[in-house]
Chains A and B, each alone.
Chain A
Amino acid sequence: MGTVEHAKAAGRFIADEPRTNWHDETLWFVRQKRDHAASLLNGWEELRERASQIKNHVLSNLDQYLIQFEKNAIANGAIIHWAADAEEHNQIVHGIIKNAGVTRLVKSKSMLTEECHLNHFLSGQGIEVVDTDLGERIVQFRKEPPSHIVLPAIHLKKQDVSETFHEHLHTEKGNNDPNYLTGAARQHLRNEFIQSKVAITGVNFAVAETGGIVVCTNEGNADMGVHAAKIHIACMGIEKIIPKAGDLSVFLRLLARSATGQPITTYSSHFHRPDKEKQLHIVIVDNGRTQQLGRPDFRNSLKCIRCGACFNTCPVYRRSGGHSYHNAVAGPIGSILAPNIDMRKNADLPFASTLCGSCSNVCPVKIDIHDQLWKWRQILVKEGHVAMGKKIMMQSMAFLLSRPKLYRFAGKWGRKIMQSVPILVSNKLNPWYKQREMPEPPKQSFNEWYKQNKK
C-alpha cells in the first residue's frame, strides 16, 4: 500500500476550496471555544505546568508506577496483560474474544486500537468490531480511518453522513438533519450494545495508587458498552499512568477544555472492580513507546493526553485534513510520534509544519511539539529519508552561503537575470510562482548600497 505524501494529499484536499474553508473554520471555532474555556479558569498556565510536571515525573519512574498499578488492579480483580507491540496486543485481545465465543463486539474510542489496526486484524479472524462513537461509526461504515483523534468524522459534511447512513442504516435519502441522523445511529447502536458480550474501550488515565482506569466520553458509549457486556477489555499505552487519584483533578480540568472547550466531558467514568460475574481485562501496550522514551529529544511526546488541541490550532492541519497525515494520530502530535515507529513511511510528516509554534502553546501538558518537529527533520535527513533534489538544493545553498564573495556575486547576477529574463524564475516549474509573484529584484543589494553610501 503506497503512502501519498502529505504535501500531495494536502493539495488534493485544498483543491475543494469551499470544503477546506469549512474544515478550517469549523476547527478554528473549536480552538476559540478552547480559548474561552481556558480563559475562564483561574490559573490555566499553572495547571498546564502542573500537568507537565506530573507527566515528566511519571515518565521518570514509569516502571515503578506500572508495577504499582498492576498490583492494585489485580487486587481489584482485573486481569492484566502486557503487549510488547501491536501484533501481541491484537493477539491478546483476540484470545479474550475467542474464549468468550463471540464474533461481534462493541468498541468505544481508543486511539491505541487504531494505532494497532485492531479492527482490521479482528476482521481477518472473522470477528466484527462495531465502533460505537458516532464519528467512528460513520467513518467505519465508509471504510475510512478517523481524521481527528477527538472528532473522527470532522472531514465529512452532513450530506456525506446522510448518504452513508442511507446506505447502511436505511435512513431517508436526502435527510441531512444531524438530529435525525444521530437518532438513527442511537437506535442502531442500542441494539449492538444490548447484544454484545464483549466491550472494548480505551483508557484516558490509569491511576497507579488505586489500580483503576478512567475513561472520558460525551456520548456515554463506553459505559453503555461496558455495563451491558460481560467482558470489558481496556487497552492502554504504558504512558497513560498517573500516580494518584488527586492528579485526576489536574487532567480532567485540562482535557475537555483543551479538546472541545467543555468544562468536562459528560462522562468521566472510573472503573476499579468488575461487576459481579463479569471480567475486566486491561491490556498494557508498549508498541514503540519505550523506544521513544529512550530518545531524550522526543520522550516528552509520551506526555500526550490525546486532547487534539494541537490539531485544532494547527493552520496546516486545518487546511490539509487528517487523512493527509497517513497515520492513526494525525496533526502536529502525530507528526512527532509517527517517525518513531516508521521513519521511512513518515519522513514527510515533520515537514508538514511551518514551525509556527501554536501547537506547543495550546498543549495542556506542554509538549514542545514544534521543537521536536525541527529535531525530527535533522534526524530524518541524517538517516537519508530525504529526496535527492532537496538534498542537492540544500547542499548548493550551503555552498553558496558559506562563501561571502560568491554569495554576493551570485546575488548580483541572479537579480540581473531575474530583471532581464524573468521567465527563468517566473515559470510553472517554480512552485513559488504557481500562485505567487516573485519579489521584484532591486538594482542594488543592501550590501552594495552600504558600500556606496556609508563606507
Chain B
Amino acid sequence: MKIGLFIPCYIDQFYPQVGIASLQLLEKMGCKVFFPLDQTCCGQPMANSGFAHLTETCNTLFIDHFKDVDYIVCPSGSCTLHIKEHLIDDGRPALADRVRHQVFELSEFFTDILKVEKLDAFFPYKVGFHSSCHGQRGLGVSSMSERMLPYFSKPESLLQKVKGIQLSTPNRSDECCGFGGTFCVFEEAVSVKMGKDRVMEHEANDVDYITAVDMSCLMHLEGILKRKGSKIKTIHLAEILNSK
C-alpha cells in the first residue's frame, strides 16, 4: 500500500512537527510513505474566499503529485475536505475523481483503512478535544450534536487508546472555533470572539492541552491563548498519537 503524504502549506511552514508525527505514525504502522516534495497547497484559502477559479494550477499540481499512490493521507480535515469536494481537472476528469476518493484525513485513515486497534502512545496530560468542523461535519469523522444519530468519534476513539491521557470535552462539544480561513482576518472581531469562547470552555475544564484534527483551528486558538498568557498549549492529534 503506497501512501502519499499530503502536508498542507501552513503545516509545512509553521508546524513541521505535525508533518513529522504523521509520517512517523504511518511508518510505524507499516505504510510505505511517499512525500511529493513539490507540493504546495490544496487551494482552499482561495476557493473559500470565492476565488476557486484561481486554483487551477494548485489542482493540476496536486493531481500530478499524488496520481500514483493508493491513498493520500493528510493531517488536516479541512484540506482533505477541500480536495474531496472541489478538486477538478477539466482535462483529466476521471483522474481527478479517483484522487478525490483516495484522500483521507489522518484519523479516519487510521480507523477506517488501517483499522488501528492498538497504539503504543503515552501522553500523561489532561487534553481538551476540539472538534474541527470540516473534519466533523464535512468528512463525518464523528457524530454531530445537531443530528439525532448514534454517537461516535474516530479521533476520540484513537485518543482513548493513548495511555495516561485524560480526555475532556467542552460544554458545547462541537462549536466552531472561528478560524474559518480568511474569515479570521476579514471578520476579525467575530473570529476572535468565537475563539475566546472556545478557550474559555477548555479553561473551565482545566486542561493542559487542546487538541484537534486540524492545525488551523489550533493555530487560531494558540494565538488567542498566547496573547492571554495562558498555560494551556495546543497540540495536533498526530503528535499525541506519536508520543512516548
Residues of chain A whose beta carbon lies under 8 Å from any beta carbon of chain B: 6-7, 10-11, 14, 17, 20, 24, 28, 35, 38-39, 41, 44-45, 313, 315-316, 319-320, 350-358, 360-362, 374, 377-382, 386, 390-391, 394-395, 397-398, 400-404, 407, 411, 414-415, 430-432, 434-442, 444-451, 454
Q: How far is the CA of A355 from the CA of B178 in the complex (A)?
A: 10
22 A-B pairs, CB-CB below 8 angstroms?
A10-B189, A35-B146, A319-B197, A351-B183, A355-B133, A355-B134, A355-B181, A358-B133, A390-B186, A398-B58, A401-B41, A407-B9, A414-B13, A431-B184, A431-B188, A435-B188, A436-B195, A436-B220, A437-B226, A437-B227, A439-B14, A447-B7
Given known A44-B148, A315-B175, A358-B146, contact A397–B46 (CB-CB < 8 A): yes
Least CB separation from B215: chain A residue: A439
Are A411 and B13 CB-contacts (below 8 A) given A10-B187, A316-B190, A436-B220? yes
Complex: A313 Cα to B149 Cα, angstroms: 18
A interface secondary structure, majority: helix
Instruction: Contact check, B58 vs A401: say whether CB atoms are below 8 A apart.
Output: yes
Chain A minimum-CB-distance residue to B17: A442
Number of A-B contacts (CB under 8 A): 216
A401 touching B224 by the CB < 8 A rule? Answer: no
Majority DSSP secondary structure for residues of B touching A: helix
Is B231 located at the chain interface by the 8 A CB criterion?
no
A361 to B11, CA, bound (A): 29
Complex Cα distance, B222 from A390, in Å, reads 25
Q: Is B30 an interface residue (CB 8 A)?
A: no
Instruction: Indicate which residue in B12, B38, B138, B195 contacts A446 across the interface (CB closer than 8 Å).
Output: B12
Q: Is B20 an interface residue (CB 8 A)?
A: yes
A319-B194, A356-B176 known; A436 and B146 CB under 8 Å? no
Chain B residue contacts of A374, Cβ below 8 A = 47-48
Which residues of chain B are near A355, meaning CB under 8 Å?
48, 133-134, 180-181
Q: How far is the CB of A99 from chain B (nearest CB, A)?
A: 48
User: Quick one: which of A320, A352, A398, A432 contacts B55, CB cutoff 8 A?
Assistant: A398
In the bound complex, residues from chain B placing their C-beta under 8 Å from that of A403 are 40
Q: Are B19 and A378 in contact (CB under 8 A)?
A: no
Do A386 and B50 form a contact, CB below 8 Å, given A354-B180, A356-B133, A357-B133? yes
CA separation between A302 and B210, bound complex, in Å? 40
